[in-house]
Amino acid sequence: MLLSIQDLKVGFRMGKVGGQMQRQLAVKGVSFDIPENSTVALVGESGSGKSVTAMSILNLLPDNAEREGRILFQGRDLLRTSQRELQSIRGREIACVFQDPMSSLNPVFTVATQIMEPLIKHLGLSKKQALVRAEELLNEVGIPDPKRRLHTYPHEMSGGQQQRVMIAVALACKPKLLIADEPTTALDVTIQRQVMELLAKLKDSHKMSLLFISHDLGVVGEVSDQVVVMRHGEIREKAPVAEIFHSPQDPYTRALLACRPSLTENPGRLMVIDDHIAAEAGQARQAREHSVKDPNAPVVLEVRNLNKSFFFKTGLFGTKEFKAVKNVNFKLRKGYTLGVVGESGSGKTTMGLTLLRLHEPTSGEVLFEGKDLLKMSGNDWQKMRRRIQVVFQNPYASLNPRFTIAQALLEPMEIHGIGANHADRLARATALLHKVGLTEAALSKYPHEFSGGQRQRIAIARCLTLNPEVLVLDESVSALDVSVQAQVLNLLKDLQDEFGLSYIFISHDLAVVKFISDEVLVMQHGDVVEQASSEEILAAPKQEYTRRLLGAVPKGYTGAAPAH
């Protein structure tokens, strides 16, 4: 056995209250094994304890963490090894790849320097030898033109390439175990597919084991041999991947499998974890039915020949034009949702930001109630801005960390003169929090005190303070785990029904787009390559590019059921 975790408990000291040290137990007696040359997936929602469990292996935890139990790596108990011995194991025998490569890669060092560091430190290679090996590793992880790429900086690479560099750094010393913590969560479906296939290939060629952490059972089913399902710091189920997919024993596992949007089915509402568990216990909740769309609803937004170019200096006097958005046309009706899909770099986010004039367009028209938004200025544009709002992918980056939630919700109302007075605005903010499933207690708290899903609900509530008619949602659920994602998607549909909102929903997840969208634009290299209803796009895609996007969506485990 390569690694054996036995009765692991992890608690965090939370400070003293009344002279007593308060502790929060995040992992409660977890036990599982990782055999040699195998992939074990650790699955669960945010807060389930899966990342804390994995980071306990190399003690990559905050100083206030306390660990008990045993973590045996080739017979050595890592909980009782010295700090010096643990440092010699990190990177050399056990390596990690994290979710966000830009927070792991040092922005001031070249790619070569970062790959060479473990080679020099752990293997004692000279700089010249390490540089040669670094080029070989970049080639192995599929970076084109590796010799040139060695001398680039992380910010000069795409998200998928950054993740490949992180994998190259992790594999530099040929570790026996690779811990991959949500390595594909923020990537579009085709890049996600490439990274998953790369990890599987490297695992076989290096004869190493892989601990793969994810909240998405669709991804897990394609890469794993064994699956460990966690919730609230405890293991709910562990079994071979075929058993987990064909005959899950725990209601929570069945709920995780069922709450992700599907490419083949299109329910009016997604069931969340608690709905599934309640239904299995015979306590089914009454699902709210969504209203039928009016086919003759008025057009609220019409885009004609929208173009956006960026210009870069070349040499002393030259400039180079990069066309990010090319001749985009569409109409958006009141109460409808337009889905916009494509790979990273397809122009979908640039198009959404250009509509809002967060990027000034190069040419084209954006007609809102017949008036061209792109020609407005001064007070006219200020009044119109409140009617078209945006929800970004990362709510923590768009909420001011120094503002309480009350301040975050009240500020836009004060700027735009909404509400008769402070008390009126506060009552409105409280009502909107209730609408998005939060209580009045949230008003006095700060963004860091909430989970990712709760922060996204707050960001949506902030948009609603201005009574908008159109919301641009830019990858607004892509970083959320499947159950929270289902809650936010249901919330968006409920709000659309109640307020008649129109959405431009930008995403790389085709299953999510199918669930929420009425019409879909498929973008590639700034062009709209396909445009049709969501049913048509998925049932009979006309373009090879669209078929490739659909083919890259994780399908989960598709092998045979286990014999009994």
Signed CA dihedral, 207, 172, 186, 61: sign only? positive
The pTM of this model reads: 0.80
CA distances from 109 to 115, 142, 150, 177, 243 (A): 10, 21, 11, 26, 45
Q: In this model, does residue 288 exceed pLDDT 70? A: no
Q: What letter does residue 137 receive in the DSSP assignment?
A: H
Average pLDDT over residues 414-418: 87
- Quick one: tokens of 453? 């899903």
pLDDT tens-digit map of 510-539: 888 888 899 999 999 899 999 998 888 888
Give residue 560's pLDDT: 64
Q: At what angle do helices 159-171 and 127-140 cross, to 10 degrees?
A: 130
pLDDT confidence band for 563 (50 / 70 / 90): low
pLDDT confidence band for 559 (50 / 70 / 90): low
- Quick one: tokens of 484? 């929270």
Higher pLDDT, 103 or 186: 103
Domains of the chain listed by start with CATH number? 299-551 (3.40.50.300)
Q: In this model, does residue 187 exceed pLDDT 80? A: no
Give residue 472's pLDDT: 92
N-term to C-term CA, the chain: 26
Question: Secondary structure of 101-118 in the HEC alphabet?
Answer: HHHHCCCCCCHHHHHHHH
- Quick one: tokens of 300? 């609220």
Q: In this model, does residue 406 exceed pLDDT 90? A: yes
Give residue 502's pLDDT: 93
| CB atoms inside a 10 Å sphere around CB 515 | 27
H or E stretch at 432: helix 422-435
Cα gap 276→333, rounded to integer Å: 34
Side chain identity, residue 281? A
Number of H helices, E strands in the chain: 22, 20
Average pLDDT over residues 462-477: 87
Question: Secondary structure of 41-101 in the HEC alphabet?
Answer: EEECCCCCCHHHHHHHHCCCCCCCEEEEEEEEECCEECCCCCHHHHHHHECCCEEEECCCH
Q: In this model, does residue 285 exceed pLDDT 60? A: no
H or E stretch at 231: strand 226-231
pLDDT tens-digit map of 96-108: 888 777 778 888 9
- Quick one: tokens of 325? 């958005």
Q: In this model, does residue 557 exceed pLDDT 70? A: no
Give residue 287's pLDDT: 56
pLDDT tens-digit map of 471-519: 999 888 876 777 778 888 888 888 898 888 999 999 878 888 888 899 9
Q: In this model, does residue 326 exceed pLDDT 70? A: yes
Cα gap 533→546, rounded to integer Å: 13
Q: In this model, does residue 562 exceed pLDDT 60? A: yes
**50, 44 Cβ separation under 8 angstroms:** yes
Average pLDDT over residues 412-433: 90
Mean predicted lDDT score pLDDT of the chain: 86
Q: Which of 191, 250, 194 is nearest to 217 (CA)?
A: 250
Range name among 127-131, 189-193, 196-200 with the lowest pLDDT average: 189-193
Q: Which of 93, 179, 451, 381 is nearest to 459 (CA)?
A: 451
Cα gap 535→514, rounded to integer Å: 7
Q: In this model, does residue 35 exceed pLDDT 80? A: yes
Q: In this model, does residue 195 exceed pLDDT 90? A: no
Q: In this model, does residue 47 exceed pLDDT 60? A: yes
Q: In this model, does residue 386 exceed pLDDT 70? A: yes
Give residue 283's pLDDT: 66
Residue 222 three-state SS? helix
Q: What are phi and psi of 99, to 5 degrees?
A: -65, -45
Average pLDDT over residues 296-325: 87
**31, 7 Cβ separation under 8 angstroms:** yes
Q: In this model, does residue 229 exceed pLDDT 90? A: yes
Cα gap 138→315, rounded to integer Å: 29
Higher pLDDT, 152 or 436: 152
Give residue 480's pLDDT: 74
- Let me know if 204 is exposed, middle or buried by CB neighbors in 10 A (0-12, 13-18, 19+): exposed
Average pLDDT over residues 260-286: 73
Q: In this model, does residue 430 exceed pLDDT 80? A: yes
Give residue 72's pLDDT: 94
Q: In this model, does residue 111 exceed pLDDT 60? A: yes
Q: pLDDT > 90: what percent of the chain?
A: 31
Give residue 305's pLDDT: 93
